[in-house]
Homo-oligomer: A and B are copies of this chain.
Amino acid sequence: MGGFFGIVSKSDCVRDLFFGTDYHSHLGTKRGGLATHDGDDFIRFIHNIENSQFRSKFEDDIAKMRGRLGIGVISDYEDQPLIIGSHLGVYAIVTVGVVANLDELARETFGKRATHFSEMSGGEVNPTELVATLINQQATFEDGIQHAQDVIEGSCSILLLTRNGIYAARDKFGRTPVVTATKDGACAVTLETCALPNIDCRVERYLGPGEIVWMTEDGIEQIRPPGDCLQICAFLWVYYGYPSSNYEGINVEVVRNRCGAALARRDSTDVDLVAGIPDSGTGHAIGYANERHLPYARPFVKYTPTWPRSFMPQDQTIRDLVAVMKLIPVHELVEGKRLMFCEDSIVRGTQLKQTIQRLYACGAKEVHMRPACPPLVYGCKFLNFSRSRSELDLAARRSICEIEGDETATPEAYADPDSDTFHRMVEGIRKRLNLTTLQYQRLDDLVAAIGLPNEKLCTYCWDGVT
């Protein structure tokens, strides 16, 4: 998905910028970047973080950076920040989101015979460069950012750094969060609020959908008020977000605990212990165990010294290897046990199947699975989440195909969790994963656990509603 951070300070901001950006490391696996303006020039560094930590890659750079304002990014895809020169002046820019109509927009701009894209890798247009091009088509930054958001399909939150300040813009429907914050002598903007406490910042305001603000030394000024329609991604709480983060004021760990509790309230399966698939299943499992007063335990421990976050080995063999290597079983907590596992979600189920096999190989008596969200049946169009995955690879869709004997079957008939079709779909998944029992979260329970009105949440990947 990616994440970003920006800061404007009365003193040098590099240390805060470094840590503020670093606290988004869990959101992206390909590129990290930082840019400051030191009063004279922009200073920028971009590194490949596919196989090492942001911290290791940037620790030397920050000694060469200075400035009282800057932006940073963790990117799942393209090189960022870009330094752009145009009739608006020179600026740095980072974006989070997905420009679904990228090719169409690029063709349109080309048509005017007056622009080009130079940040291309593998022949593809750099989405952030395209966004900059859209901004440059207008007379002011404000108009340009608004224009970009009007024509982009998908989502696009933006930080734009000039020599004087930072424009921060939340995407049109607020699918990704953008939060302003303050501390003595500085104001900041972040995607993840977990970036704030350790650099002594407090949340100032959760920007609304499409809202634009202008941050300078003198404070934060609203440039464009928020729109009416909020469609924040519900998956942020379920999976993406760091447990210490809040979106719309609602904490991730707390929601996960409530998700687990909700699953527990509809469950009376007899088990010996409750566990989560690390890391994102942990919060759900704790909530489940507490609700049912069952022992919580860690039959699998993740080897964080080596696998601190998701990496992107280019080789599929190595990727499978990592899946095996990162979790180490505790035999004593598996052998002969009836195990209740909470997991954030089941996507394709490939690695989960392998994990379950290993539990049986360790002597597990029963393995029960409780995903914290309903079956995924639609691929995300609004964030980078499912960029390279076919919808038909989703475990639920596969199960539907098997039932229907037809790849073109529409999943609508399998939506109602009280229906027989739904139960047959779940049963298909259960069998394939070789689980003792499998019970999904209901969408209404998930929405209640988050605590926002349903219409403010994007639940597209579960119900196809846009």
Verify if A230 is at the interface (C-beta below 8 Å from B). no
* B279 engages A304 (CB within 8 Å): yes
Within 8 A of B (CB), among A241-259: 242-244, 251, 253-254, 257
Which one of A22-30, A152-160, A204-212 is at the interface?
A: A22-30
Given the known interface contacts A197-B328, A253-B330, A306-B22, the answer about A118 and B129 at a Cβ–Cβ threshold of 8 Å is yes
By beta carbon, the residue of chain B nearest A327 is: B198
By beta carbon, the residue of chain B nearest A324 is: B198
A301 to chain B, nearest CB (A): 5
* B293 engages A296 (CB within 8 Å): no
* B251 engages A330 (CB within 8 Å): yes
Q: Is the interface of A mostly helix, strand, loop or mixed?
A: mixed
Chain B residues with CB under 8 Å of A293's CB are 293
Which one of A103-111, A220-228, A386-394, A409-417 is at the interface?
A: A103-111
* A19 engages B325 (CB within 8 Å): yes
Number of interface residues of A (CB under 8 A): 84
* B305 engages A296 (CB within 8 Å): no
**What are 12 A-B pairs with beta-carbon distances under 8 A?**
A42-B122, A55-B306, A56-B56, A83-B123, A84-B116, A86-B115, A90-B123, A116-B133, A253-B297, A279-B304, A290-B295, A305-B308
A431-B282 Cα distance, complex, nearest whole Å: 34
By beta carbon, the residue of chain B nearest A24 is: B305
A457 to chain B, nearest CB (A): 19
Chain B residues with CB under 8 Å of A304's CB are 279, 304, 308-309
